[in-house]
Amino acid sequence: MNSVQTRSAERALSGGTWLIVCGAMLYSILTVTPLMAAHTAEAWDWTAPILPLVVDAAVVIVVKLDDVLARLGGQGGRWPIVLRWMTGLMTLALNTADSALKKDLVGVAVHSVAPLLLIVTAETSLAYRRAIAAAVAAQEQQERAERERREQAARERAERARAEAREEREHAAMLAREQREHEAVLAREQAEREERAARKERAARERAEQAERAERERREREREQREQERLTRERQARERAEAERRERAEQAERERREREERAARERAALLNRGPAVGKLPEGEARRIVAAAFASDMSVRSAAELCGWSVGWVSARYAEHRSPSTRGAELAIASQ
Question: DSSP letter string over 19-53?
Answer: HHHHHHHHHHHHHHHHHHHHTS-GGGGGGTTHHHH
Whether the predicted pLDDT of 326 surpasses 60: no
Give residue-wise pLDDT tens across range 47-106. 666 666 667 666 666 766 666 666 666 665 677 667 667 777 777 777 777 777 777 777
Whether the predicted pLDDT of 284 surpasses 70: yes
Q: Which of 7, 27, 222, 266 is nearest to 135 (CA)?
A: 7
Give the model's pLDDT for residue 10: 65
Number of alpha carbons in the 13 Å side-chain half-sphere of residue 83? 18
Q: What is the pTM of this model?
A: 0.30
pLDDT band at 331 (very low <50, low <70, confident <90, very high): very low
pLDDT-above-90 percentage for the chain = 1
- Top mean-pLDDT range of 232-236, 262-266, 328-332: 232-236
pLDDT band at 327 (very low <50, low <70, confident <90, very high): very low
- Cα separation, 23 vs 175, whole angstroms: 86
- Cα separation, 272 vs 314, whole angstroms: 20
Contact present, 306 and 313 (Cβ < 8 Å):
yes
Choice between 141 and 136, residue whose per-residue pLDDT is larger? 141
Give residue-wise pLDDT tens across range 117-130. 666 676 676 666 66
3-state helix, strand, coil in the chain (%, to 5): 90, 0, 10
